[in-house]
A and B are shown apart, each in its own frame.
Chain A
Amino acid sequence: MFQQIMQTISLWALPAILLLILTMGLIKRIPLYETFTDGAKDGFKVAINIIPYLVAIIVAISMFRASGIIDLIGQVFSPVLAKLNIPADTIPIMIVRSLSGSAALGVFSDIANNLGPDDYATKLSAVMVGSSETTFYVLAVYFGAVGISKLRYALLVGLLADFIGIVAAVLVCNFVF
């Protein structure tokens, strides 16, 4: 029931916004076509502005993932995490989910396919992946678009919140499943 309502809202959210914007623009006698193209002109500029920031972050993260260090970190921490009832399979997700969204989804698909629907690791990693956004990517895109290179505390807050998210996921899943 809840899911059906949510699906309907998700399906209609975009069309509804477009209808609202265009209708209101028409009523207020805004030159729709000119205004649209005028605003759209910046699309190219913004996308191009992001490239240097994306290259810095994505290349560094690609190298990091290719080096195999994530497995290494996993091996180091797995005895500790096993005591906290955290399956070793989910460790790569905890590390990767702040770095790369597609990688986190990839690891999650692996876990889900290998361990099957009834395994606790599948559920825990589903919650971890579903509740997160790729902090480094968001940072690169949002700050890149306006040319900001001094992040101040933004990254720290993002990573701390990610960590709190992981702890919350473990606690909630332990309780629910």
Chain B
Amino acid sequence: MNYIFYFLIVISIIAGAINGRLSDVVNAILSGAELSVKVAFSLIGIMAFWLGMMKIAEKCGLISIIAKIIKPITKKIFKEIPENSPAIGDIAMNFSANAFGLSNAATPIGLKAMEELQKHNIDKSSASNAMCMLLAMNTAGFQLIPATVIAVLIGIGYKNPTEIIAPTLLVTSIAFISAILLAKIFEKIWKPQKEETCSNK
């Protein structure tokens, strides 16, 4: 991540200078910083709502019921996490919310899963294998219906916007499965976590 951070900023400055867009690049700092805070603040309300709901779901045992149902799958994918951890139920809810395009619910629930995974993490500043797996599942963006894209297509008068669904679903499934497999492969070949050991990327 250190290199990518450096690379993004330095390349931007150099390319901006060459393209004569240096002032745009400088302005982007302010607009980017503002946007970050906007994004974070817009999350507060919905985050509070879902964290509240998930607390009830956890207390009444709903999360552990869900965790039990999907245990055969999660046992393979998330080996290090104890079967009775609420993380498993949270991850299942996060995945379902993503699949149905409820990203408002998916993010807060995913973050709660992240906090549960952090409890099992041996080095609190680096990502555990389970965390990398949860990330892989989320960055692959598995979704049954690409609602926003369909809305745009309808907007331009696309005759049959639903014909986009099947190819998209196929592509997103391929990406999702590859993400899980890749995470599994890297889990084996990457330097394992140790306390205070850094494997920067």
A146 to B118, CA, bound (A): 7
Shortest CB-to-CB span from A105 to chain B, Å, is: 6
The 11 listed contacts between A and B (C-beta, < 8 Å) are A47-B40, A47-B44, A54-B36, A60-B12, A61-B32, A66-B28, A105-B152, A126-B152, A130-B148, A131-B168, A138-B139
- CB-contacts of B94-149 with A (<8 A): 96-97, 100-102, 105, 107-108, 110-111, 114-115, 117-118, 123-127, 131-132, 134-136, 138-141, 143-149
- CB-contacts of A122-158 with B (<8 A): 122-123, 126-135, 138-139, 141-143, 145-158
Chain B positions within 8 Å of A59 at CB level: 28-29, 32-33, 36
Chain B positions within 8 Å of A123 at CB level: 164
Shortest CB-to-CB span from A22 to chain B, Å, is: 7
Shortest CB-to-CB span from A135 to chain B, Å, is: 4
- Residue among B12, B56, B170 with the highest chain A CB neighbour number at 10 A: B56
Contact A164 B53 (CB under 8 A): no
Q: How many Cβ-Cβ contacts under 8 Å join chain A to chain B?
A: 364
Q: Is A76 part of the binding interface, using a Cβ–Cβ cutoff of 8 Å?
A: no
A170 to B49, CA, bound (A): 40
Q: Is B73 part of the binding interface, using a Cβ–Cβ cutoff of 8 Å?
A: no
Shortest CB-to-CB span from B56 to chain A, Å, is: 4
Chain A positions within 8 Å of B25 at CB level: 63, 66-67
Shortest CB-to-CB span from A140 to chain B, Å, is: 9
Chain B residues proximal to chain A, CB less than 8 Å? 1, 4-5, 8-9, 11-16, 19, 21, 24-25, 27-29, 31-33, 35-37, 39-41, 43-45, 47-49, 51-57, 59-62, 93, 96-97, 100-102, 105, 107-108, 110-111, 114-115, 117-118, 123-127, 131-132, 134-136, 138-141, 143-150, 152-153, 155-159, 162, 164-168, 170-172, 174-176, 178-179, 182-183, 186-187, 190-191, 193, 198-201
User: Whose C-beta in chain A lies nearest to the C-beta of B54?
Assistant: A39
Contact B174 A165 (CB under 8 A): yes
Q: Is A46 part of the binding interface, using a Cβ–Cβ cutoff of 8 Å?
A: yes
Chain B positions within 8 Å of A108 at CB level: 149, 152
Q: Is A77 part of the binding interface, using a Cβ–Cβ cutoff of 8 Å?
A: no
A81 to B171, CA, bound (A): 19
Of the candidates A39, A51, A68, A132, the one whose C-beta lies within 8 Å of that of B15 is A68
> If A147-B124, A155-B4 touch, does A133 touch B141 (CB 8 Å cutoff)?
yes
A32 to B62, CA, bound (A): 14
Main secondary structure of the interface of B (DSSP, over half): helix
Chain B positions within 8 Å of A148 at CB level: 118, 124-127, 131
Contact B132 A131 (CB under 8 A): no
- CB-contacts of A83-120 with B (<8 A): 105, 108-109, 112-113, 116-117
A41 to B13, CA, bound (A): 41
Chain B positions within 8 Å of A135 at CB level: 139
Contact B52 A40 (CB under 8 A): yes
Further contacts, 9 of them, CB under 8 A, given A154-B131, A157-B136: A28-B60, A30-B59, A64-B11, A139-B135, A146-B124, A155-B1, A161-B175, A165-B171, A176-B166
> If A18-B53, A38-B55, A46-B47 touch, does A158 touch B135 (CB 8 Å cutoff)?
yes
Q: Is A80 part of the binding interface, using a Cβ–Cβ cutoff of 8 Å?
A: no
User: Whose C-beta in chain B lies nearest to the C-beta of A159?
Assistant: B139
Contact A131 B172 (CB under 8 A): yes
